[in-house]
Amino acid sequence: MTNKKTMNKKDGKYIPAELQQIDRLRSELRERCKELECIYSISRIVDKYSETDNIIRDIVNIIPDSWQFPEKTCCRVIIEDKIYTSANFQETRFRLFRSISILKEKIGIIEVFYIDPTEKLKRAPFLKAERSLLIVIAERLGKIIERKRSELALKQSYKSLQELYEHMQTIREDERRKIAMEIHDELGQALTSLKIDLRWLRNKQDTPDNKKSLSKIVSMENLVDGTIKKIQQIATELRPPLLDDFGFPEAVS
């Protein structure tokens, strides 16, 4: 004889309590699998996109699939002045929500709604596990947004440093060009004039009685020639002609 204490009536039929327990465990396992899939899907979305807007937009659309009645579930995420909603979004009084924070500062909210719930759902619309899952998702969203903002700030800082470096290089090259021109034009011209004067003086002293003076003048001319060549070398090193003709990239290649 069947022990009715171990039986429960459902749809007019008696079902063993053990089978009902197995059904509950199966149902809970399915829900847990959906929750794990949700977390895994969020990770895939983060890897897929670089823009925060695209990440949040896709996350909002996968969240309903993790609730016990996806077809009756919709989601909304509000981050400061931006709003993201899932397909067929409808705001109802059957709402589960959680704040999204960065470094303990609230920046937004995530909400899950049930659309047209059954009478049974109206009495207890959300599972305890769903409440826990929403907490995890909200925390994950906060960390994602924080990381993306940090990455953006880092990129902007790098760009500013790059621009500052290029500006400093421009100033440096302008100074080098100015110095090179001053050396080449002013000092070079002065030495060239001195060389001309020495040649004139040598011609005047080119007599047998002035051999010693003539030797000294020739030595001075050689020194001036060597100095002119050195000045030309320094000016070229400071500002290679190729730099003015083709620019910095070609000059260093």
pLDDT tens digits, 157-195: 888 888 888 888 888 878 877 777 777 677 777 777 777
pLDDT tens digits, 56-78: 999 999 999 988 888 999 999 99
Region 78-102 average pLDDT: 93
pLDDT tens digits, 18-59: 666 666 666 666 767 777 888 889 999 999 988 999 999 999
Q: Hey, where are the domains in the chain?
A: 10-154, 169-252
User: Of 100-104, 150-154, 204-208, which range is least confident?
Assistant: 204-208
Which residues have C-beta within 8 Å of that of residue 235, sequence separation ≥ 6?
A: 180, 181, 183, 184, 188
Q: Give me the pLDDT at residue 57, please.
A: 95
Q: Give me the pLDDT at residue 111, please.
A: 97
Give the homologous superfamily in CATH for domain 10-154. GAF domain (3.30.450.40)
